[in-house]
Structure 1
Amino acid sequence: MTAPALIALAPDTHDPRTADTVAALTTLIGRIRPDLRVTSASLGRANTLKSTVDRLVVEGHREIVVIPLLFTADQDITAAAAAAAAAAADRHDGVLVHVTEVLGIEGAFLQVLDQRLREALSLRRVRELDGLVLAGEGSSDPLVQSAISRAARAWGNQHRLPTIAAFATAAPPAAGEAVRAHRADGRRHIAVGLLFLAPDHHTDRVTELATEAGAIAVAAPLGADAEIARAVLARYAVGAVSLVPLDAWAV
C-alpha cells in the first residue's frame, strides 16, 4: 500500500524568501523519508492547495495529509486550511485529504532559536546579553498570544534572562516596544529571537523596529532545520493513521 502523500502547507508564500524556505524544508523532509511523496502548497493570496491536490491525484495518490506550517493555531488560518482541503477533496471522488494540527511550539524549536541567536551574536561579535525578546506572529486570538508568551518564558528560563514576548501584528507589544521596556529597566545588551519559519515582510519589520529601539542583534527565523522537518513528520504520522478506516483496526 502506498503511503499517503504529504503536503507542507504555508499560510502565504508570495515572498520568494518564504517560498525558498518551504521548498528547502520539503527537500529536507524528502531526504529523511525518501519513501514519501512530499510537496508544498500555500494559502492566502496564492492558494495552491487545490492545484497541488489535483497534481497528486493525477500521480495516483488517493490519500493526502496536509500539515500547516504554523507555530500557533490561529483559528482563521486553520479554518481556511480545513475549508480549502475539503474543497480540494470534493473535486475527486474517493480521495481523502486530512489536515493535521499545526506544528505548535516544540521544546526542540527553542534549540533552533538558540542556534540562530548564536549565529547572529557571532556576526555582531556580541558576547554579553542581559535581556531577550521573542517575537512571533501577531493575532487577536488570545490563545495565540498566550502560546508565544509561554515560549518566551521558557526560552528566558533556559538562559536565565528576562524575556519579553513581542508580536509582529495585531497585539502589543511590538518588538521595538519590548526592547525599549528592557532598556527602561536598565538593560543594554538585548537580543531578539524570531519565532517564524521564514523571512518575510513581518520579520523585516520586526528587525527594523528592534534595531531602531537599540537591540544589539536580531536572529534569523528558524528556517529549514532538521528539527522542523522531524516535527512535520511527527504530525504526518498522526495524520496518516487518522486516514485508516476504523474497520481496518478490527481483529
Structure 2
Amino acid sequence: MTPPLVAVAHGSRDPRSAAMVSRLLDVVRALRPGLDVRAAFLDLSAPRLADVLTAVHGDGHREAVVVPLLLGNAFHARVDVPGAVAEVRTRCPRLEVRVADVLGPDPRLESAALRRLVEAGVDLRDRDLGVVLAGAGSSHAPANAAVAAVGRRWAAGAGWAGVRAAFAAAADPDVPTAIAGLRAAGARRIAVASWFLAPGLLPDRIAAQALAAAPGAVLAAPLGDDPEVAELVLHRHAETLVSCPQPQYA
C-alpha cells in the first residue's frame, strides 16, 4: 500500500489560506485517485501536523510521507516541520515518517507564477512592463536568494523592461523599492507576480504596497491550485519514496 501523503502548510488566521490548501489537495486527489491525501498545518490553522500523523497511525498505517507546502527552505521547513515530526515519533514510535523536500525551487512553480500573471491580464511580450516577483521574505538568506534567482532567470528570458524580486518582511528590497528600480529602468507599467502559495496577511501587504507605489499595477493571484503545483506535490511524495529506503518491520 502506498503511504499516505500528508501535505503540511504553514497555516493562517485568514480562512482563505486553508480554503486554498483544500482546493490544491482536491487537484492532487484528482490527479492520483486512490492515494490517501490529508491536509495539516504547522500553526494558526487546524488540524496540526502531529495530530494528523497520529490519526494516520490510528488508521492502521505504518508509514506516511510529509510533503511541506512551502516554497523555500526557510525556518518552517528547517525547524517547525522536523519538530512536529519528532513529536509524533515520540507518540507513535512504530510509524515511519518520511519528510519530502519543500516545493521550491522547481520550474513548475515558475510556470504557475507566469500563468497567474497571464490570467491577471499581463501581456508577456510587453516591453514596457516591469515585473515585481514578490515573496514572503526570510531571515534565512538562501531562501531569499532562491526567489531572486527566479527573477534573474525571468529578466534574462523575457522582453520586459525589467524584473525585481521583493519581499513582504525580513528581507530587502521591499515592493516600493523594487517598483522604483523598475521605473528607473524604463518600466511604464507594473505587474506583481506572486511567490506565495495562498492568500493571507503577507500577500495582502504586498498588494497594498504595490498599489500605493504604482496605482493600477496588475496583481497576480497566488500559485494556489494550479495543476503544475499539484503535480509537484505528487512528485515530492513519489521521489521521497524512492530516495528513502523501505523500512523493515519486525
Superposition TM-score, scaled by structure 2 size: 0.90
Asked if 2 retains the 8 angstrom alpha-carbon contact of 1:42 and 1:49, the reply is yes
Alpha-carbon distance change, 61 to 245 in structure 1, aligned in 2, over 3 angstroms? closer
Alignment of 1:56-135 (within 5 A): 56-121=56-121, 129-135=128-134
Matches within 5 A, 1:135-150: 135-150=134-149
**SS of residue in 2 equivalent to 1:121:** coil
- The answer for the alignment partner of 1:245 in structure 2 is 247
1:218 aligned residue: 219
Shifted more, 181-190 versus 99-108: the winner is: 181-190
Instruction: Give the length in aligned residue pairs.
Output: 244
Residue 11 of structure 1: aligned partner? 10
The ranges of structure 1 where at least 4 consecutive aligned residues each deviate by more than 6 angstroms after the TM superposition are none
Displacement of 1:210 after TM fit? Answer: 0.7
Name the CA distance, whole Å, in 2 between partners of 1:9 and 1:222: 16
Secondary structure of the equivalent of 2:192? strand
Counting aligned pairs with the same residue, the percent is 35
CA contact (8 A) 2:131 2:193 kept: yes
CA contact (8 A) 2:10 2:76 kept: no
Counterpart-to-counterpart distance in 2, 1:203 and 1:152: 18
| 2:246 aligned counterpart, secondary structure | coil
Q: How far apart, CA to CA, are the structure 1 residues paired with 2:178 and 2:165?
A: 7
Alpha carbons of 1:76 and 1:223: their partners in 2 closer, same or farther (altered >3 Å)?
closer
1:35-54 aligned at under 5 Å gives the runs 35-46=34-45, 48-54=48-54
Structure 1, gaps ≥5 residues long: none
Deviation at 1:149, TM superposition (A): 0.3
Once the two structures are TM-superposed, the CA of residue 27 in structure 1 deviates from its matched residue by 1.3
Q: CA deviation at 1:133?
A: 0.9
Residues 243 and 9 of structure 1, relative CA distance in 2, 3 Å threshold = farther
Question: Take 1:6 and 1:39, find their aligned partners in 2: how far apart are those partners?
Answer: 6
C-alpha contact (below 8 Å) 1:21/1:198 kept by paired residues: yes
User: 1:176–1:211: 8 Å Cα contact kept in structure 2?
Assistant: no
Is the contact made by 2:8 and 2:69 (CA closer than 8 Å) also made in structure 1? yes
Residue 180 of structure 1: how far off its partner (Å): 1.8
Give the CA deviation at 1:71. Answer: 1.2
The 8 Å contact of residues 11 and 42 in structure 2, kept in 1 or not, is answered as yes
SS at 2:65's partner residue? strand
Matched residue, 1:175:
175
Deviations 1:75-97 (A, max 9, x none): 45422101101211221131111
Q: 2 CA distance for matches of 1:217 and 1:168?
A: 17
Separation of aligned partners in 1, 2:86 and 2:33: 27
Unaligned runs of 5+ in 2: none
Deviation at 1:145, TM superposition (A): 1.3
User: 1:110-153: per-residue Cα shift (whole Å, max 9, x none)?
Assistant: 2211221112126x9xx674211101111111101110000111
Indicate the residue corresponding to 1:190 in structure 2: 190
Aligned-pair CA distance for 1:58: 2.0
Task: Check the 8 A contact 1:198/1:222 in 2, yes or no.
Answer: yes
CA distance in 2, matches of 1:36, 1:13: 26
RMSD between aligned residues: 2.1
